[in-house]
Amino acid sequence: MKMLEYHLNESVDLSSRNKKFIANSAKWIVSHFGIDVNTSIADFECGPGLYTTLFAEINADVTGIDFSKRSIRYEKKLADQKGLDITYYQQNYLEFETEKRFDLITMIFCDFCALSPLQRKTLLTRFYTFLKPGGSLLLDVHSLNTFNSRDEVAIYERNQLDNFGSPDNYYGFLNTFKYDKEKLTLDKYTIIEEARTRVVYNWLQYFSQDSLRKELEENEFKAEEFYSDVSGSTFSPESPEIAIVARKADNT
């Protein structure tokens, strides 16, 4: 599983640019999918509730799933402060089970890219089961443009990533490897503390429009629309990301 791309303490510190993007993205999602009080939404790898909170503020029926205890604790606290009714599960989303069925499933911030082919198939099978007939899936991925822009590097830093690896002092080594045929990268983090040494492997898969469509359609989804991001920006071949809207067939 991918290392979290945000550092979550007692609050989530987002730049004004990121806050604006998330607000615009949520507004587009609400409009595009016609979300209202009758809409049931599941946000997988929901993080600190950036989208679940905004969906719940328009009285949608919202469920969030995330592996991080700290994220879920923060999300529940935020929901309580705002008086929002959101159902949260602290769980590995690859093992998540529910009898509930959803109109929309979202998986945002390119988390789909952190999974192996088998894990992605497992997840898409679950998404298909969890969606109502005609229900929609929205997810985003890193494009081949991002893959092409990455280099193989070796970096050493003291307390790398602003002490993300440990609250104590440590030496951090990052080795990045590229696999051109598979369109994969590996970021290998070695965290050396006084009492122990740890290694974290962060794999990322990159997609073209065609490879993403093929993977969704091989798992019984109909790929309907492509965008450059989850705010509905017109698709561009030069985009660093690809967002896709796929639909479960109405006759299932």
- Residue 188 C-alpha from the chain's centroid: 20
Answer yes or no: is pLDDT of 174 > 80.
yes
pLDDT bucket at 2, cuts 50 / 70 / 90: very low
SS3 label, residue 66: strand
- pLDDT for 9 equals 35
Alpha helices in 97-243 (DSSP H): 117-130, 144-149, 160-163, 209-218
Which residue ranges make up each domain of the chain?
A: 16-143+207-248, 146-205
Cα distance between residue 221 and residue 216, in whole Å: 5
Answer yes or no: is pLDDT of 88 > 90.
yes
Asked whether the whole model's pTM tops 0.85, one would answer yes
Answer yes or no: is pLDDT of 163 > 80.
yes
In CATH terms, is domain 16-143+207-248 a member of 2.102.10.10?
no
- pLDDT for 164 equals 80
- Contacts of residue 39, defined as CB under 8 A and 6 or more positions apart, other chains included, come to 33, 60, 61, 103, 104
pLDDT digits (tens, 9 = 90+) for 119-150: 999 999 999 999 999 999 999 999 999 999 99
- Reading phi first (left if > 0) and then psi (alpha if -120 to 50, else beta), residue 138 is in beta
Other CB atoms closer than 10 Å to residue 224's CB: what's the count?
13
- Contacts of residue 213, defined as CB under 8 A and 6 or more positions apart, other chains included, come to 223, 244
Q: Do 66 and 33 meet the contact criterion of CB atoms below 8 Å apart?
A: no
